[in-house]
């Protein structure tokens, strides 16, 4: 009997564990180690953050689902890996620390034959003074990155709405909290939902809404922008995004590194080196992401974290990490199998793998401050990678370590992004976008790096309905309800 | 002044495109959007299929 340990019960880890458990059956053991007791459909946190959904609507308990799937579940966080075992045993193991009530703080080692790191991001609020401490959100701004954060964001939003109803103008500042953030799409969606809710509440004219982001142009989205088919034209996402903002009278400040946050005030540095301040009454800033800080030790106890992980804490996989100039970046730099180059029984899936480089053009201010988005690894790629990795591990278990590994390169994979702007079935709209592939391939698609037949954008109710359908479909799938394997990632 | 023209007055918005009344109406026209819903779903399913 082989044991697969999956670290992280998010989009990628849950996909890996549930498929592996289904394919391996009871002959082998699948273990999930994750600090949360609940699964969260993160994209719908946006609607929690504007009071249109509750935390309960976007989460469910993991324990019964894992029990049904025959998965061994530890509510704990992984702290370190010993891929060669230790001085007393050759068996690789992961050290965990329980987070479960009643056991919190207790530590244990779990041996494994195969391990998949799907620990997602550390929400690195501490990287920006005033934004928070470590992975803890500070007191000056709100976040929608977790369901709990989104509940808090909505409380603050409702307070602001009450103030506006009482005649006090409010300034809303939404965007990225650091020069090296990713996940602009989430902030993008949130700002439009805020605008929609303020209009609905009849207080839009009492609000000044502003976007602040590290993108060098609006619509970069951490993918260097995209050229998409819209209404028969192929246009840059810059035009598409600017149109959305202009239509709603939302101003933007781009190429901005948030350098410090204080009560009601944000300090920034721009790509031209100038600095400035923005005041706010309500601010939602996405933190930069880092790896969750797992350590790795060799058999003799020496620290091999640098061998297994990149400096940003994400796990090294089969990418080409050779430092290269932007002009030399290639689609082939991106990983295909997500296998760790040093330890063949170790994989990373979703946000946890170290990308070879950004997708957006790297930029610095004259002061040397890097200001450019880091690459997004959204839900669809996270799920597809999670499934490919599950396939590979199952084949290695059943056919031996020489089994052919399954591939899922982000340069051959699309992503569907539906950014809602309000939740009503008949008055909501959404910008529905698909991009294919996520990482542009200028050898295959010399014009824009992408297939413009499948890279398109559209605004309207239809996208909004799709967003609704996806919410129910993915929660249904994640609960392993009948037919769940038929629903694509 | 039309809604879109009012927005164009602001300097930051003057070089972009702002939908007029017809484009805005089509975005919430249930019959048209139902058709687009089917088209978008088919296109997204193709993208998902190409990605696996
Ligand atoms: C507000 C918001 C909106 C978004 N909207 C969209 C959208 O509309 N469409 C889209 O495609 N994507 C969207 N995304 C991105 C999407 O949520 C991520 O791409 C996806 O969740 C990544 O999956 P993951 O499994 O890599 O990470 P996660 O889903 O974050 O999962 C990581 C898991 O690892 C666990 N973990 C952390 N540390 C440890 C540890 N030490 N040991 C063990 N486990 C650990 C975490 O608790 C978590 O369960 C959005 C993101 C945000 C924040």
Which ligand 1 atom is the nearest neighbour of the CA of A13? 25
Q: Above 90 in pLDDT, residue A117?
A: yes
A45-103: pLDDT as tens digits:
999 999 999 999 999 999 999 999 999 999 999 999 999 999 999 999 999 999 999 99
A321-352: pLDDT as tens digits:
999 999 999 999 999 999 999 999 999 999 99
Task: Write out residues 394-433 of A within 8 Å (CB-CB) of B.
Answer: 408, 412-414, 416, 426-427, 429, 432
Q: Chain B residue with minimal CA distance to A391?
A: B52
A397-436: pLDDT as tens digits:
999 999 999 999 999 999 888 887 766 778 777 888 889 9
Handedness of CA A401, A407, A408, A410 (dihedral sign): positive
The CA distance from A459 to A373, in Å, is 24
Query: Distance, in angstroms, between B43 CA and closest chain A CA?
Result: 7
For residue A57, the enclosing domain spans 3-123+289-399
A203 CA → ligand 1 middle, Å: 33
Which ligand 1 atom is the nearest neighbour of the CA of A415? 11
A118 CA → ligand 1 middle, Å: 9
Pairing, β A38-40 against β A59-61: antiparallel
A269-307: pLDDT as tens digits:
999 999 999 999 999 999 999 999 999 999 999 999 999
Contact A476, A484 (CB under 8 A): yes
Asked if the structure places residue A189 within a domain, the reply is no
Contact A237, A220 (CB under 8 A): yes
The CA distance from A287 to A182, in Å, is 8
Taking CA atoms, A302 is separated from A17, A86, A95, A342, A343, in Å, by 30, 10, 15, 15, 16
- The whole-number pLDDT of residue A331 equals 96
B7-45: pLDDT as tens digits:
888 889 989 999 999 999 999 899 999 999 999 999 888
The CA distance from A51 to A97, in Å, is 34
Under the banding of pLDDT at 50, 70 and 90, the label for residue A376 is very high
Under the banding of pLDDT at 50, 70 and 90, the label for residue B1 is confident
- The whole-number pLDDT of residue A292 equals 97
Q: Above 90 in pLDDT, residue A139?
A: yes
**pLDDT average, residue stretch A262-275:** 98
Phi and psi at residue A78, to the nearest 5°: -75, 145
B46 in contact with A at a CB cutoff of 8 Å?
A: yes
- The whole-number pLDDT of residue A419 equals 80
Q: Chain A residue with minimal CA distance to B16?
A: A243
Structurally, how many domains does chain A consist of? 1
Asked if the structure places residue A377 within a domain, the reply is yes
Q: Is the ipTM of this complex over 0.95?
A: no
User: Across chain A, what does the average pLDDT equal?
Assistant: 95
- Specify burial of residue B31 (Cβ count, 10 A radius: 0-12, 13-18, 19+): exposed
For residue A145, the Cα-to-chain-centroid distance in whole angstroms is 9
Handedness of CA A295, A297, A303, A304 (dihedral sign): negative
Asked if the structure places residue A450 within a domain, the reply is no
Q: Residue A273: beta bridge partners? A: none
Asked if the structure places residue A102 within a domain, the reply is yes
**pLDDT average, residue stretch A2-8:** 98
Return the percentage of chain A with pLDDT > 70, whole number: 100
**pLDDT average, residue stretch A137-143:** 98
Q: Residue A24: beta bridge partners? A: none
Pocket test for ligand 1, best of A19, A35, A40, A42 (most atoms within 8 A of CB): A42
Contact A489, A383 (CB under 8 A): yes
Pairing, β A114-117 against β A3-7: parallel
Length of chain B, in residues = 52
- The whole-number pLDDT of residue B10 equals 86
Pairing, β A93-98 against β A107-111: antiparallel
Q: Which residue's CA lies nearest to atom 11 of ligand 1?
A: A379
Pocket test for ligand 1, best of A120, A123, A292 (most atoms within 8 A of CB): A120
Contact A317, A337 (CB under 8 A): yes
Under the banding of pLDDT at 50, 70 and 90, the label for residue A29 is very high
Q: Residue A16 maps to which CATH number?
A: 3.50.50.100
Whether residues A466 and B41 touch (CB distance < 8 A) is answered with yes
Among B32, B39, B47, most A C-beta atoms within 10 A, so best to mutate, is: B47
Asked if the structure places residue A274 within a domain, the reply is no
């Amino acid at each position: 009997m082989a044991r697969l340990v999956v670290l992280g019960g998010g989009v990628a880890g849950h996909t890996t564990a549930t498929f592996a458990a289904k394919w391996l059956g009871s002959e082998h053991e699948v273990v999930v180690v994750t600090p949360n007791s609940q699964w969260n459909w993160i994209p719908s946190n946006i609607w929690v953050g504007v009071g249109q959904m509750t935390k309960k609507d976007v989460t469910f308990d993991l324990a019964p689902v894992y029990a049904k799937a025959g998965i061994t579940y530890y509510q704990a966080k992984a702290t370190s890996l010993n891929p060669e075992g230790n001085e007393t045993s050759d068996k690789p193991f992961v050290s965990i620390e329980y987070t479960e009530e009643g056991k919190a703080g207790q530590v244990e080692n779990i041996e494994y034959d195969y391990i998949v790191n799907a620990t997602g991001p550390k929400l690195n609020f501490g990287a920006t003074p005033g934004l928070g401490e470590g992975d803890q959100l500070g007191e000056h701004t709100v976040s929608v990155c977790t369901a709990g954060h989104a509940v808090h964001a909505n409380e603050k939003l409702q307070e602001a709405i009450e103030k506006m109803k009482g005649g006090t103008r409010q300034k809303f500042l939404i965007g990225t909290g650091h020069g090296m953030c990713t996940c602009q799409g989430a902030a993008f969606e949130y700002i439009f939902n805020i605008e929609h809710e303020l209009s609905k509440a009849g207080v839009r004219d009492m609000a000044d809404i502003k976007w602040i982001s590290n993108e060098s142009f609006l619509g970069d989205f951490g993918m260097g922008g995209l050229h998409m088919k819209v209404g028969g034209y192929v246009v840059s996402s810059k035009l598409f995004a600017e149109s959305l903002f202009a239509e709603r009278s939302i101003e933007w400040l781009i190429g901005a590194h948030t350098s410090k946050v204080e009560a009601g005030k944000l300090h920034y540095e721009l790509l031209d080196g100038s600095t400035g301040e923005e005041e706010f009454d309500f601010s939602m800033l996405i933190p930069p992401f880092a790896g969750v800080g797992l350590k790795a030790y060799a058999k003799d106890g020496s620290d091999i974290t640098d061998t297994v992980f990149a400096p940003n804490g994400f796990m090294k996989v089969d990418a080409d990490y050779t430092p290269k100039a932007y002009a030399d970046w290639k689609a082939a730099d991106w990983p295909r199998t997500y296998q760790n180059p040093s330890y063949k029984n170790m994989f990373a899936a979703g946000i946890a793998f170290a990308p070879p480089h950004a997708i957006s053009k790297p930029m610095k201010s004259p002061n040397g401050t890097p200001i450019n988005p880091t690459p997004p690894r959204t839900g669809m790629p996270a799920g597809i990678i999670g499934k490919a990795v599950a396939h590979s591990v199952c084949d290695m278990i059943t056919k031996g370590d020489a089994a052919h590994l399954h591939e899922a390169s982000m340069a051959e994979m699309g992503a569907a992004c539906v950014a809602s702007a309000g939740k009503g079935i008949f008055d909501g709209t959404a910008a529905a976008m698909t991009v294919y592939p996520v990482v542009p391939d200028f050898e295959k698609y010399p014009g824009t790096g992408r297939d413009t037949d499948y890279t398109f954008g559209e605004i309207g109710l239809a996208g909004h309905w799709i967003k609704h359908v996806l919410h129910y479909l993915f929660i249904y799938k994640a609960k392993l309800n009948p037919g769940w394997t038929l629903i694509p990632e | 002044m039309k809604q879109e023209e009012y927005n164009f007055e602001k300097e930051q918005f003057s070089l972009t495109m702002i939908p007029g009344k017809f484009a805005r109406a089509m975005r919430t026209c249930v019959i048209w959007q139902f058709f687009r819903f089917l088209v978008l779903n088919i296109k997204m399913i193709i993208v998902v299929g190409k990605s696996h």
